[in-house]
Amino acid sequence: MSIRRLYNVADVRDRARRRLPKGIFEFIDRGTEDDLAMRRNRAAFEQLQLRPQVGVDVSARHTRTQLFGREMSLPLAIAPTGAAGLVWYRGELELAKAAATAGIPFTLATRSMTAVEDIAAQAKGRLWFQLYMWTERELSYGLVERAQRAGCEALIVTLDVPVAPNREYNLRNGFSLPFRLGARSMFDMLRRPRWLSGVMGRYLATTGMPRYENQPGRHRNRLTQGDAAAPLRSDAITWDDVRELRRRWQGPLLVKGILRVDDALRAVAAGADGVIVSNHGGRCLDCSVAPLEALPRIADTLAGRATVLLDSGIRRGSDIAKALTLGAAAVLSGRPTLYGMAAAGQAGARHVIGLLQAELLTTLGMLGCTGVHELGPHLLQEEPAAIEHLLAQLDASTGAGSAAPGAGVEKHSLKGLVS
């Protein structure tokens, strides 16, 4: 069945589930522990309601916006995910190409399987780099220099995984990184022959088992190899490290994994140009607040001081509209384009971006907006000042008000509705 018949992200996810070995599908699809944070992320979007404006000419609407002084076709960037190379052969490169064609930034993850230099040379689009800072700092600084030399525009430092998350489903599925070939994982892969030959088979026939190409020297090991993990631990990273990264990085610096106003302010004080309000798609702390709920206060506080982005739970174009209404400048999306990659590689990822853009365009039209710059708090709550103004205009044009019998009563009751 053609991907054109996958009408929304849920359809694409379903296709991905049928294409991938269960261990890999659940690794990308699920959260942590009981998946509560992941469900709350969705619930926050589902519960938010907007008030459409009617009678507006929306015939010439568009989704374009600007971020860090550069244009993008819609307020969306691809979030860093260390697994694109597992769902499709050279998946990170294909995903980066899909983003470039769509005119949106792609973020390469530290733990991806394609070197930052290769992505920069071959994908040709806007490239951001995500950094997991390691306790052995010099290793990270080397990687930051590589990303800068390769021409990455922005550096995203992720702070919300100080320790390894508790993901029991991986154990149950016999899925682990480093990749171990046990009876369960072998059986799982054999049940997905298309993936086995099209992804793993192609790696083995060409480059061999993929490596973490962005890890430094002796840590650039293959997926199946373990690591002397200590130097690559991230459990002692502090705001001083962000300050040091600021000193080293020329270009926008973003801190990812912010859910509190005080941390957002600490990030900006440490020199960040922006924050990504995120709970890692519900993959780290299962009792964490939904980013969409944390967003309004963070966006209000940072307004005019720094850029606020959001991720975790975007599945519809209307979700992008909701995040922008609550103050985000743009959003990132992780799983949806991974589903797209699993379904049909670059074309699948491009299809997902197209779906989100088309849905956003529809949402804008329905809301009475011609562009994403018109999304704002007036779509959540009617503004008393605007209503007072309309009332005054109405009274002036009709001569209503104190002169007309009963008019004062009506006006009073309308005021009651507004307050």
Ligand X SMILES: Cc1cc2nc3c(=O)[nH]c(=O)nc-3n(C[C@H](O)[C@H](O)[C@H](O)COP(=O)(O)O)c2cc1C
Tell me the catalytic residues. 280
Classified as helix, coil or strand, 165 is coil
For residues 187 and 200, what is the distance between their CA atoms, to the nearest angstrom? Answer: 14
Check binding of 335 to ligand X (CB under 6 A).
yes
Tell me if 98 sits within 8 A of 349, measured CB to CB: yes
Check binding of 211 to ligand X (CB under 6 A).
no
At closest approach, how far in Å is the CB of 412 from ligand X?
47
At closest approach, how far in Å is the CB of 28 from ligand X?
4
Check binding of 334 to ligand X (CB under 6 A).
yes
Runs of H (alpha helix) within 103-249: 116-123, 137-150, 168-173, 183-190, 193-195, 202-205, 239-248
Residue 238 or 398: the one with the smaller Cβ distance to ligand X is 238
Check binding of 316 to ligand X (CB under 6 A).
no
The token duo for 366 is: 């329905």
Check binding of 155 to ligand X (CB under 6 A).
no
Near ligand X in 16-45, by CB under 6 A? 28
At closest approach, how far in Å is the CB of 6 from ligand X?
18
Number of C-beta neighbours around residue 34 at 10 A? 11
Check binding of 158 to ligand X (CB under 6 A).
yes
The answer, yes or no, to whether the previous bond of 178 is cis (omega within 30 of 0) is yes
For residues 96 and 151, what is the distance between their CA atoms, to the nearest angstrom? Answer: 14
Q: Which residues lie across from 310 on neighbouring strands? A: 277, 331
Check binding of 314 to ligand X (CB under 6 A).
yes
Q: Are strands 330-333 and 106-108 parallel, antiparallel or unpaired?
A: unpaired
User: Please, is 261 exposed, middle or buried when counting C-beta atoms within 10 Å of its C-beta (0-12, 13-18, 19+)?
Assistant: middle
Check binding of 313 to ligand X (CB under 6 A).
yes
At closest approach, how far in Å is the CB of 106 from ligand X?
12
At closest approach, how far in Å is the CB of 221 from ligand X?
16
Check binding of 321 to ligand X (CB under 6 A).
no
At closest approach, how far in Å is the CB of 345 from ligand X?
17
Check binding of 342 to ligand X (CB under 6 A).
no
Q: Pick one of 80, 210, 317, 348: the residue that binds ligand X (CB under 6 A).
A: 80
Tell me if 158 sits within 8 A of 131, measured CB to CB: yes
Near ligand X in 277-306, by CB under 6 A? 278, 280-281, 283
Q: Pick one of 114, 288, 333, 357: the residue that binds ligand X (CB under 6 A).
A: 333
For residues 195 and 203, what is the distance between their CA atoms, to the nearest angstrom? Answer: 11
How many residues sit close enough to ligand X to count as binding (CB under 6 A)? 22
* Angle made by CA atoms 318, 323, 326, in degrees to the nearest 5: 125
**CB neighbour burial string for 161-193, b if at least 16 within 10 angstroms, e if fewer:** beeeeebebbeebbbebebeeeeebeebbeebe
Check binding of 215 to ligand X (CB under 6 A).
no
Q: Pick one of 312, 318, 357, 363: the residue that binds ligand X (CB under 6 A).
A: 312
Which amino acid belongs to residue 347?
A
Residue 81 or 140: the one with the smaller Cβ distance to ligand X is 81
Check binding of 146 to ligand X (CB under 6 A).
no
Residue 128 or 203: the one with the smaller Cβ distance to ligand X is 128
Residue 42 or 411: the one with the smaller Cβ distance to ligand X is 42
Residue 302 or 323: the one with the smaller Cβ distance to ligand X is 323
Tell me if 321 sits within 8 A of 315, measured CB to CB: no
At closest approach, how far in Å is the CB of 237 from ligand X?
13
Q: Pick one of 79, 144, 353, 372: the residue that binds ligand X (CB under 6 A).
A: 79
Backbone angles phi, psi at 248, to 5 degrees: -90, -25
Residue 311 or 374: the one with the smaller Cβ distance to ligand X is 311
Number of C-beta neighbours around residue 66 at 10 A? 12
**What beta strand segments (E) does 290-375 contain?**
307-310, 330-333
Q: Pick one of 83, 308, 352, 364: the residue that binds ligand X (CB under 6 A).
A: 83
Check binding of 274 to ligand X (CB under 6 A).
no
**Residues of the shown chain interacting with ligand X in the complex, contacts defined by CB under 6 A:** 28, 79-83, 109, 111, 130, 158, 256, 278, 280-281, 283, 311-314, 333-335
